[in-house]
Amino acid sequence: MSKRNVHIIGTGTIGEPLIGLFSAFRKEWDIDEVSFHKRTPLVDERAKVESMVRRGAKLVVDTDAVAQFEALGHKITQTSDEAIANASVVIDCTPVGNKLKPRYVEASGPKVFMAQGSEFGFGQQYARGINDAALNLDERFVQIVSCNTHNICVMLKTLGERLEGPQAGTVGVDWARFLCMRRATDISQATDFIPAPEVGKHDDARFGTHHARDAWHLFKTINEDLDLFSSAVKLPTQYMHILQFTIALSEPTTQAALVARLAENPRVALTEKRSSALVFSFGRDHGFYGRILNETVIPPKCMHVSEDGRTVTGFCFTPQDGNSLLSSMACALWYLDGEDPRDRLKDTLTPYMFSEI
């Protein structure tokens, strides 16, 4: 039998918790080996690297950097090329997945390569719970869409899905508009913070920003053609992204009916909190690596339904990159097992997915 090895490239805001998650549940998920690639040897990150090694992950570096890492006291198990060749799953958590793709194309060992966030064009797009039915396990390249795109998609599917009649299961949305209010930096980043809100460009003539564009392409994989548009503004905070949405539904509904839908979705967390600091604090205290693994956190009291029941407006929090982490783990298990990893995820990740925050 081939080895079930997972190799993670990058140790940043997505890479580090992924290394921790795969290491923590290596036995439950039948993972043979978890390895991670770090490009630059840094004295101030020595403790972080050694912490991940103590969790059971193996450090991998480039051939020309072995001596520098060893000088810092690190034990090197493999070089980067060896780790990729020996892996079944490779998850690229760097911002240059598309740039590195030609190297991955030449590697014959892995079943799947994943890139994160806005690496549009890397491969088929995936978000857990949205387009699992369209995931083609014969295709080796997957783009895990960004955390804000996850949030957009789960709101569209949860609020707009037709539950009855001949179109049951489809998304009954006439149009939707989103404003992504993005945190400036993660709390782990000490540079690039901004002193004041910074508005974003609308680089896409049809969709505004990549968030709506990626959501449209994701739903297109399940034969949904939605009218979507998004804008973005960066705020001087390190806590959480916030999504403001206006969704025009094809059929009238009520506030109570929509809240019931949200409450029934295990990937949605409801909250009475209206401050991102309080939601973030809950994740720090009760999440894995501080991450809430739900796809969205929504305060129902901040949701408004128009008098005709057709337009829904509200706010929801994007739980850092927790939703991207969930999709990355689900995608890896899809390729390793060849089937929906629902039971594996339920048995291990339930403590980090909340119905209420």
With respect to CATH, is domain 148-322 assigned 3.30.360.10? yes
**Residue range 132-156, pLDDT digits in tens:** 999 999 999 999 999 999 999 999 9
* Every domain of the chain and the residues it spans: 5-144+324-343, 148-322
CA distance 313 to 309: 11
Q: What percent of the chain lies above the pLDDT cut of 90? A: 93
CATH of 5-144+324-343, one of 3.40.440.10, 3.40.50.2300, 3.40.50.720, 1.10.287.130: 3.40.50.720
pLDDT at 139: 97
pLDDT of residue 1: 47
pTM greater than the 0.85 cutoff:
yes
Same-fold call for 5-144+324-343 versus 148-322: no
pLDDT reported for residue 205: 97
Buried b (16+ CB within 10 A) or exposed e, 5-39: bbbbbbbebbbbbbbbbbbbbbeebebebbbbbbe
The pLDDT assigned to 52 comes to 96
Using an 8 Å Cβ cutoff, are 100 and 94 in contact?
Answer: yes
What's the count of helices (H) and strands (E) in the chain, helices before strands? 11, 16
Tell me what pLDDT residue 102 has: 96
Would the CA dihedral through 142, 144, 149, 153 be positive or negative?
positive
The pLDDT score that the predictor gives to residue 320 is: 79
Phi-psi region of 35 (alpha: psi -120 to 50; beta: other; left: phi over 0): beta
Where the chain has pLDDT below 70, the residues are: 1-2
| DSSP code per residue over 183-243 | ESS-TT--S---SS-EEPP--BTTTBSHHHHHHHHHHHTTT----EEEEEEEES-SS-EEE
